[in-house]
Amino acid sequence: MQECKTDIKPEAISARLVRFKSMDMEYIAYKLLRSMILLLGFIPLTVDRFIGKLVGTLAFMVPMTRKKMALENILSSFDGGMTRGEAKKLLKRVYRYFGQMFLEVPHVMRLSPRNMHEYLAIDHEENLLTALAKGKGVLALTAHFGNWELMSAAVAMHFGNVAVVVRPLDFKPADKLMVDLRSRYGTEIIPAHRGMRHLLRAVRQNKIIGILLDQNVDWYEGAFVNFLGRPACSNKGLALLALRTGAPVIPFFSVRDEAGHYRIIIEKEVTLIRTGDTTRDVEDNTALFMNIIESYIRKYPHHWFWFHNRWKTKNYCEIKNEIRESGARGNDESRGWGADRQKQNPKDPCSGNELDR
């Protein structure tokens, strides 16, 4: 009998089996998450908010790294204007708010033109319609503020022709679930990484393009502008796109009242700064956009997601202990420092390679 031969190595077969098992587990996790979201959507909104407030209160009592970061963010942003006790009181309110907000998100699956008035109202939609009439698309400036997911779904359902720029979640089942939620009313999902071609196409299609501008970016992606009293590396992509295409920038924010009803506030078109100096115009307009976001945060501080490491990217290079000590340890240590330096990120302005230049 002739022996059956194959070019497939056992290691490759094993790797494929692991991959298939991983895919099966991800699919199961996705289905479980989706079922849970659908179930939560059938619970009355008032009950969801009560549970969310309770969950937020309990979460506030648990010591976590992000809690400490959020408290420091609040104290630094209201420097001198808020005591530590007042900051903790605000942070507790933030926990309660986002506990409620996360349990409101499942109701996106049940949102319809018939029941939209039960969740929210849209203020000054004429500002958006005027901007859309220009035929250049609309760049919707917003932030991780209020219930941005509910706002995105409502705008897509009410006006149509919407796209949003997002960063994919690390956990694939959760990312797929969020894509389902965000695209439920025809919203186009544009990846934040290398998405310029998709953005330009969306502008040509006169779409409403949602861009959340409040998160930290690496130094080569952003401009350092003042935000809540400190230099913050802020994404300059919105300013570049607006200056290049002439697409109007319209601020969108959602604010919840005491009764739990949201108002989606659509502001007038932002007048861009144009001096002819591209670098300066990009920085000045990025600062202008961040000032708009800051004004809402200062007015409704419990609506903003304080848990993000917003000031992670620094506008200076820290002097490492290894650098200070290398000169004192002689040539042998210097050679060791040189070897370590080769491992550093070439995009890091504080790396040895950049400093040498």
Cα angle value 238/241/247 (rounded, 5°): 100
Q: What is the sign, positive or negative, of the torsion defined by CA atoms of 88, 90, 96, 100?
A: negative
Burial 167-180 (b: 16+ CB within 10 A, else e): eeeeeebebbbbee
What pLDDT shows up at residue 19?
53
What pLDDT shows up at residue 312?
95
What pLDDT shows up at residue 336?
42
What pLDDT shows up at residue 320?
57
Q: For residue range 9-66, what is the model confidence (pLDDT) as tens digits?
A: 555 545 554 454 556 888 889 999 999 998 988 999 999 999 999 999 999 999 888 9
Q: For residue range 149-192, what is the model confidence (pLDDT) as tens digits?
A: 999 999 999 999 999 999 988 899 999 999 999 998 999 999 98
CA distance 270 to 352: 41
User: DSSP 3-state helix, strand, coil percentages of the chain (rounded to 5)?
Assistant: 55, 15, 30
Q: For residue range 295-346, what is the model confidence (pLDDT) as tens digits?
A: 999 999 999 999 999 999 998 776 655 444 445 454 444 434 334 434 445 5
pTM of the model: 0.84
Question: Would you list the DSSP string of 127-188?
Answer: HHHHHHTTSS-EEEEE-SBS-HHHHHHHHHHHH--EEEEEPPPSSHHHHHHHHHHHTTTSPE
CA distance 297 to 277: 30
Q: What is the sign, positive or negative, of the torsion defined by CA atoms of 213, 218, 219, 221?
A: negative
Q: Which uninterrupted H or E stretch holds 270?
A: none
Q: What does the mean pLDDT of the chain come to?
A: 86
Q: Which residue, among 216, 165, 234, has the nearest Cα to 193 in the 3D structure? A: 165
3-class DSSP assignment, residue 226: strand
What is the DSSP code (8-state) at residue 225? E
